[in-house]
Structure 1
Amino acid sequence: MTQVKCDLLIVGAGPAGMSAAIEARAAGLDVVVADEGNAPGGQIYRDAAQSPLADATVLGDDYLAGRALIERFAGSGAKHLARCVVWQVAFEDGRVIAMLTRKPHDERGGTLEVTARAVLIATGAQERPWPVQGWTLPGVMGIGAAQTLLKSSGLAPSQDAVLAGSGPLLWLFASQLLKARRRVCAIVDTTPSHAWRTALPHALPALAGADYLLKGVRMMRAVKQAGTPIHRGACAFSIEGDGRAESVRFVDASGAQHVIRTSLVLLHQGVIPSTQLPRSLGCEHEWDAPSACWRPRTDARGRSSVERVWIAGDGAGIGGAIAAMHAGTLAALDIARELGALDAATRDARNRPAVRAMKRHLAVRPLLDALYTPPAALRRPADGVIVCRCEEVSAGEIRGIAALGCQGPNQMKAFSRCGMGPCQGRWCGTTVSELIAQVQQRSVGDVGYYRIRAPIKPVTIDEIADSIALDDDFTRGEFPS
């Protein structure tokens, strides 16, 4: 096992993590950035520095803008650990101790122990699970996963792909495919027809982020002008097929029923904060009703409820890449102040530009939340739909156990194994909480979430064993001993 010491450990090399590393290094801190990707950038700027696409402009100006941030990060002097899975973070004598496994194993890989004075969690967001009939069939995946393939490998989906769901990424990916000269079979938009009326009160404040809104309008117009069939206000959506996806069935806003033949269905219902790591550290979380997701409790500088732990970027609340970048800057400045590298006056002076920029970029979020947060009917599936993909537990089983008086997701886990698979609840946790709340007529915040324990990512016994320091007089016993 290799041991590394630093002032600040940053988990995640997306916009928030890179910006924080740049600012922390400028303040004189020794910084280590651990990330699962092959190169810095996170999901939004994945492989932006060296895209496999012959023409990366198809991904848009916002994607290409990430190259400047990546270059600044590369020149910051922060130690970047690529292909690293952080599977445990603990505290000892006021220090943060993290266990990482670097993959693939080579002379630079294996298990690492990083000891730091503070940790910044910048793990970003994950796609919101959308359990529908047939979502476990081969030929069904998330739009975010499909976009990852396009960015990292230059692989575009087949010409008969149906994009279904709601949210900005739905339209962004469709427009990127069209720029790449790929055809989209159809877009099935589940945004309720009344959502615009709900969002209207937020329209005036959102004008502070008018450039963001104009980008969205242009994307929608481009998709429409390309002749892509668009079915709005869709409901009763399901995926059908014998052994793999063969068609989608839904009802549009007019009440007409549709069946579209397809071999590839790409689903999306927005993104939610990735909360596994901060939960494992005991950071307090709250249910964000307007966004219908869990988020950690943090102050304006990203400081969590746990000492020496900061959270920045979409992992603290969805705000987009630019807002995440400024959030990383604010967190790094606060950490530098906490560790004695800056005084309060210098921190506050450097804060001001980032605070102003964040306010402008977040102005549009209430409008987007009102418009694109899926209604309860889409978040709480019918009884026959699989919710926990790992253990194949259906919504009906969860509702049945909840009706018996099961008090929360942790007890549900014991009764049904829901959340005990390789994803460790990432793909079922939010839905399980909502289903229990629905049956018992409680608030989701009262129901709670899974208790997350290390290892927070799947690791082998060999990797765990490699992290254990052995005394010189250790002798291996026989099994059973």
Structure 2
Amino acid sequence: MSKTYDLVVIGAGPAGLAGAMETAEHGLSVLLLDEQPEAGGQIYRSIRTTQRLRPQAYALLGPDYQHGQTLESAFQQSGVAHLSGASVWQVEPDRTVHFLRDGKVHEVKAKRLLVATGALERPVPIPGWTLPGVMGAAAADVLLKSSGVVPSGRVVLAGSGPLLWLTASRLAAADVEILAVLETTTFIAYLRALPHLPRALQASEYLLKGLRLKWQVRQAGIPVHSGICGLRAEGTSKLEAVCFTQRGQPQMLTAETLLLHEGVVPNTQLTRQLGCEHRWYELQRYWHPLLDEWGNTSVEGVAVAGDGSLVAGALTAEASGHLAALETAYQLGSISSAQRDAAAHSFRKEIRHHQAVRPFLEHLYPPSPETLNPPDDSTLVCRCEEVTAGQIRQAVSWGAVDLSQMKAFTRCGMGPCQGRMCGLTVAEIVAKAQGKSPHEVGCYRGRPPLKPITLGQLAGLDGAQD
């Protein structure tokens, strides 16, 4: 296998698959690295295996998921080099990519790098969220895709966003016993979203899909409680009850599973490790790499495609992968700027169409204030180092005014996940305690190794051969 590639793509979701295939079509060498056993990313997780071995689950997951089969099949036929089970733990400034596969370290070099690592489900730190039986709604959706597994017993879904309703609809179709959907979306959010409805109608298929999902949930007889607050999970050794407040009235549901969701956020760990410039997105409260119209970052030779920048959905991600690939072909001399621009026209048109609905959705489904800044001091924020919201506030009073100082005071962000789970919440708490914006207190910088690696594996780096 060649050690240097024209393009190395990290991530085999829709953006990565599209970018890899488009680049290869222009005669350039491409290597696609992904830590999952199959291509497809989270949105099309295990698409090939599910279609072949779990046809009932494949049918239940619907046309949005099934679209991935067309994309994945085209990729398999493209002949692009693909290493599954490859976990990238460092990228050097010269675009040398270090990854772990089959327990051994490897490295490859890239003339250009396309980061297509997608998005992460935003953590929802509520009291009791670490109890067995509490998990993310997106995680439950992944289990359905990858294993055909659904939660047993009584299930409650809580939070906001399209994926909450999609998961509820799919689980209802799988005959899961859903006690209720607890929606944190407020009436004020609907009013704020309303001015953006005319533009959203340009992509009316998304609005119709959302209405259909809500109708399916209600048709299944599932109670929906809107505008809830004070959400908490209770139990001793596992989840036993879900408590919340609606219109000033405390309520409790006895349940075995609680699925939480408050949207998704870009996975910026790799772009932060590379030193790419990032911007704070106030509406959805997350950091994202700053990109030009072709997906180029502030670091030469490094591009981002898909939800690893602004979250916009699978079809937008796929189109953005094509744009980044066309830019690679131009930068490496395979096509002219005129050819690049002409080929990009249809993809830009597609992106404009899909993005028409985003302002409406993002105003309708902002993350809950209680998710951003947990009011209960006993709520665990950093799961790796077991640091609570109260301990973070106390550290601010002692002089920890940014996230770097918070590491020194509390070890937040120093665990195995390196702040992937707690970073946004810690920034919100620190900022709120000082009357600042999270933009002012900053974010954790990704440092290698980005993924856990043993000293023995690291010692084998010098002899790594691909």
* TM-score > 0.5 by shorter chain: yes
Offset of 1:70 from its aligned partner?
0.4
CA distance in 1, matches of 2:395, 2:438: 16
Alignment of 1:271-290 (within 5 A): 271-290=264-283
Are the equivalent residues in 2 in contact too, given 1:399–1:435 (CA < 8 A)? yes
Q: Does 1:74 align with 2:64?
A: no
1:96-124 CA-to-partner distances (Å, cap 9, x unmatched) read: 20011113x4xxxx221111101000000
Deviation, structure 1 residue 4:
2.6
- SS in structure 2 of the partner of residue 7 of structure 1: strand
Deviation at 1:378, TM superposition (A): 2.9
Corresponding residue number in structure 1 for 2:15: 16
Do the aligned residues in 2 keep the contact of 1:10 with 1:122 (CA within 8 Å)?
yes
- What amino acid is aligned across from residue 237 of structure 2 in structure 1? G
Query: 1:34-49, aligned counterparts within 5 Å?
Result: 34-49=33-48
Question: What residue number does 1:419 align with?
Answer: 413
Q: Offset at 1:333? A: 0.4
Partner residue in 1 for 2:335: 342
Distance in structure 2 (CA, Å) of the matches to 1:160 and 1:126: 26
**Maintained 8 Å contact 1:280/1:452:** yes
- Residue 303 (structure 2) aligns with: 310
State the aligned residue count: 460
For residues 232 and 333 of structure 1, the distance between their equivalents in structure 2, rounded to whole angstroms, comes to: 45
Match of 2:55 in 1: 54
Provide the TM-score with structure 1 as the length reference.
0.94
3-state SS of 2:177 partner: coil
Match among 241, 255, 265 for residue 247 of structure 1: 241
State the partner residue of 2:197.
Answer: 203
CA distance in 2, matches of 1:19, 1:342: 18
Task: Return the letter of the residue paired with 1:42.
Answer: G
Tell me how far apart the structure 2 counterparts of residues 178 and 134 of structure 1 sit (CA, whole Å): 25
In the alignment, is residue 428 of structure 1 matched against residue 422 of structure 2?
yes
Alpha-carbon distance in structure 2 between the residues aligned to 1:131 and 1:313: 26
Say if 1:189 and 1:233, in contact at 8 Å, map to a contact too: yes
Q: Which amino acid aligns with 2:388?
A: S
Alignment RMSD (CA, Å): 1.3
What is the aligned partner in structure 1 of residue 371 from structure 2? 378
CA contact (8 A) 1:403 1:440 kept: no
Q: Which amino acid aligns with 1:28?
A: G
> Residue in 1 aligned with 2:108?
114
Q: Secondary structure in 2 aligned to 1:6?
A: strand
3-state SS of paired residue (2:167): helix
Question: 2:67 aligned with 1:65, yes or no?
Answer: yes
Q: Which runs of 5+ in 1 are unaligned?
A: 471-481
2:134 paired residue number: 140
Q: Is the CA contact (8 Å cut-off) linking 1:140 and 1:266 kept in structure 2?
A: yes
3-state SS, counterpart of residue 362 of structure 2 = helix
Q: What is the CA deviation profile of residues 164-215 of structure 1, one whole-angstrom value per residue up to 9, with x for unaligned ones? A: 1111111101111122232312111111222100111111111111101100
TM, length-normalised to structure 2: 0.97
Secondary structure of 2:60's aligned partner: helix
Query: Cα distance, 1:232 vs. partner?
Result: 0.9
Percentage of pairs with the same residue: 46
Counterpart of 2:457 in structure 1 is 463
- Aligned pairs for 1:123-272 within 5 A: 123-252=117-246, 254-272=247-265
Deviation at 1:91, TM superposition (A): 2.6
Give structure 2 stretches of 5+ with no counterpart: none
Secondary structure at 2:19 match in 1 = helix
Does structure 1 retain, via aligned residues, the 8 Å contact 2:153–2:255? Answer: no
Shift of 1:405: 2.5
